[in-house]
């Protein structure tokens, strides 16, 4: 099963595509889309849309996974801005007729590392360990976060794989 995890962000949107089989996992593609903070919101969202659209067209994943939106009371604007990027991604999933899933960050971290409050570095190290590759092979932590989302979905639905 091809599963695409996406770590949305206005500055950097990371993605990781895995092939999940009963015998294990393989990273098929990973990378990120970087936007320029000086560009307006429409241009930044268009860049995210275009980049992810290329990934979806090329690989045709069977599932798309995002982290469930969480808003901290100290950073409501961050959540609102993140919602723009998430909206573009949700729209792409619908346009391409790809089943969409989302999981809370604490669940993803718990499944990936054993601790629901793990740091990004701990998540990256467990992704490395699980896949037998160094994090540098995947790109920035936005990418390893995306891969951890895909792995989480694979673990949750492993009965069907």
Asked about 142 being catalytic, the answer comes back as yes
Domain ranges of the chain: 2-156
Q: Which of 102, 136, 142, 145 is catalytic?
A: 142
67 part of the active site: yes
CA distance 83 to 71: 10
Active site residue 136: no
- 67, 95, 128, 136: which one is catalytic? 67
Report which of 101, 74, 105, 109 is spatially closest to residue 1, judged by C-alpha positions. 101
Per-residue pLDDT of 27-72, as tens digits, reads 999 999 999 999 999 999 999 999 999 999 999 999 999 998 876 6
Buried-exposed string 94-122: b where 16+ CB fall within 10 A, e elsewhere: eeeebeebebebeebbbbbbeeeebeeee
- Do 106 and 117 touch, CB atoms closer than 8 A? yes
pLDDT above 90 coverage of the chain, percent: 76
The predicted model scores a pTM of 0.93
CATH no. for 2-156: 3.30.420.10
Q: Is 18 left (phi over 0), alpha (psi -120 to 50) or beta?
A: beta
Mean pLDDT rounded to a whole number for the chain: 91
d(CA 151, CA 161): 12
Say which of 7, 19, 95, 102 is annotated catalytic: 7
């Amino acid at each position: 099963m091809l599963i695409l995890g996406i770590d949305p962000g206005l500055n950097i949107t990371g993605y990781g595509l895995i092939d999940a089989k009963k015998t294990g996992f393989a990273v098929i593609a990973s990378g990120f889309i970087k936007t320029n903070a000086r560009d307006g919101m429409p241009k930044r969202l268009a860049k995210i849309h275009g980049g992810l659209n290329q990934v979806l067209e090329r690989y045709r994943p069977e599932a798309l996974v995002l982290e469930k939106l969480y808003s901290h009371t100290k950073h409501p604007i961050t959540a609102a801005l993140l919602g723009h990027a998430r909206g573009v991604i949700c729209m792409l999933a619908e346009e391409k007729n790809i089943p969409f899933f989302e999981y809370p960050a604490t669940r993803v971290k718990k499944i990936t590392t054993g601790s629901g409050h793990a740091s990004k570095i701990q998540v990256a190290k467990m992704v490395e360990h699980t896949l037998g590759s160094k994090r540098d092979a995947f790109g920035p932590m936005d990418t390893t976060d995306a891969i951890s989302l895909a792995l989480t979905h694979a673990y949750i639905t492993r009965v069907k794989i």
